[in-house]
Amino acid sequence: MKTFKMISFQFEHDGTEIPLIDGITINQENQEKTWILELFTDKQYSIPFQPYWDSQEPFDVQVIISSPDNEPAPFSVKVLGMEEINGRVSILLKGHLRTVRLKYAEQLLQSLLEKNLTKEELLAEFRKGMRERPVLRG
């Protein structure tokens, strides 16, 4: 197994980012190629997870691991559990890394080129996008 620090967590369908107190991402390195994600956050941020916990339906997320400069990693996950701890909540997810994707910078550039920006605007928006890492539809 390999363990990585979770830097940020975001729902892919609407771009909602969950503020983390702490988080960990574990590559189980097994035949099923499964990953375990655990995020620790304030209890109020468990609300968006509740429908997925109830239905056990998979959903797509983007997680930045190890360093804020890393490209977001796309996962398809299910909620394994949610446990309240002193007004906060630990949310345990299990899933797979989605591998069919363009590199983030290429996706960002493509979306910006479609906006017909000037060269200066394109460069400024690209730099901003690489810093802020908005969810891209793609």
**What are the residue boundaries of the structural domains of the chain, listed by start?**
2-97, 102-133
Instruction: Supply the DSSP symbol for 115.
Output: T
Give the pLDDT confidence score for residue 68 in this predicted structure.
87
Residue range 38-69, pLDDT digits in tens: 999 999 999 999 999 999 999 999 999 998 88
- Where does 2-97 sit in CATH, by number? 2.40.10
Sign of CA dihedral 41, 46, 94, 70: negative
Residue range 81-108, pLDDT digits in tens: 999 999 999 999 999 998 655 577 788 8
Q: Is the pLDDT of residue 30 over 70?
A: yes
Alpha carbons within 13 angstroms on the beta-carbon side of residue 129 total: 18
Give the pLDDT confidence score for residue 102 in this predicted structure.
56
Q: Is the pLDDT of residue 133 over 80?
A: no
Contact between residue 2 and residue 29 where contact means Cβ atoms under 8 Å apart: yes
Percent with pLDDT over 70 in the chain: 94
Output the six-digit token pair for 105: 């910078």
